[in-house]
Chains A and B, each alone.
Chain A
Amino acid sequence: METSFALTGKGYVIIAADTTAARSIVKMKVDEDKIKELSSHLLMSYSGEPGDTIQFAEYVERNIRLYQIRNLYPLRPAAAAAWIRRSLAESLRSRHPYSVNLLLGGYDIADHKPNLYWIDYLGTVVELPFAAHGYGSYFALSLLDRYHNPEASLEEGLATLKRCIEEVAKRLIVSPDRFKVKVVDKDGTREVEL
């Protein structure tokens, strides 16, 4: 089942998403990257209806890029979250709504703070210290309630993330076997191996 987690720490946001692309009961692909680097300091994981996800993620990606080209500076995380939310909210009441759930993680280079936004397909946005989508959320959120520390170093943050992934691997019936993990901090975005 599709699962994604994200958590903030001291000066960074970690986003993790599983890498399976499934159709019905068949795994079509096991190395799918479901986290986009929207700009130098902005990450977005996406999950939901196949087709909608990539279409919407690319639409967001190109518009965020367009803003940067037009204005010579990128959207800050809060502004990007607001724009994406509005796109989803308008789509919700259209003839064919996108059903895409997102986690938006960014490092705000203006106020030097990490930001994480939980966004669902309805256009509900919440700013959170940690978040999850999919069936994994039922396992991960309680672990994150217990172990999350906003002052944690990147190593400690990754250790907490590992707990979540291991719990999902242990308890979820059809658990994904691989997660892609990306980090955004003052130096920008990068992929990390667990």
Chain B
Amino acid sequence: MPDTTSLDHPAQRAFNPYTENGGTILAIAGADFSVIAGDTRQSEGYSIQTRYAPKVFQLTDRAVLAVNGFAADGNMFVKKVKQRLEWYRHAHSKDMPLRAIARLIQTMLYGRRFFPYYVYNILGGIEEDGTGAVYSFDPVGSYEREACRAAGAAQSLVQPFLDNQIYFKNQRPAHNTSHPVHLPLATVLSIVIDSFTGATERHIEVGDGLEIYVVLAKGRGLHGLEGVRGVQELTATDDGERVFVVRRELKKD
């Protein structure tokens, strides 16, 4: 007798095209610089796939993009953004301005409204007016310019710390003083490092390595970067803005 049990109920099959690969990213804007950072651990569930998978990418000499969420989507998205920026260069013989890149990213994300790139994007860099900027996006393209933003697995750990240290939330300035609107680069770098060591300590998906990209405005000196261990310059053109990367180790347990 033939087996008919499988016909009793219609079988549902589903292919899940998404996964989460952990990790955390963060960006902070200064008056004339921008810092964009991410850890380098890539995991799936309790397994570490690799201890070095960059999540932060240099787009131009004034724009750096951090992507977090589903790594395959993230890598493909960065590839497509870079491609669009190259076409822009061929058409206009210059790099796309930061705010235009931000709008490009929103258009590309919303273009996939009904099969989204499962990634949170944070774009950092220098605007045309020379100010440091951070743009944060949700997976379908809602975006906003901010002074700082954390995203990813340890967002809930890092963001309230940033509220306190960058926006001075719940702090009152001393009499006849006011809180600084922008912090110096050296302070920002130590806040970034503290954020990631803290997140590494308490979140299993964060750790291994830390990559901090620093974008400096045209004509700005190196102050705040000198004496920092393991700085490497990545500037490609002599337009004026300069890009550096600082690589650090994080705990691997």
- Asked if A and B touch directly (CB within 8 angstroms), the answer is no
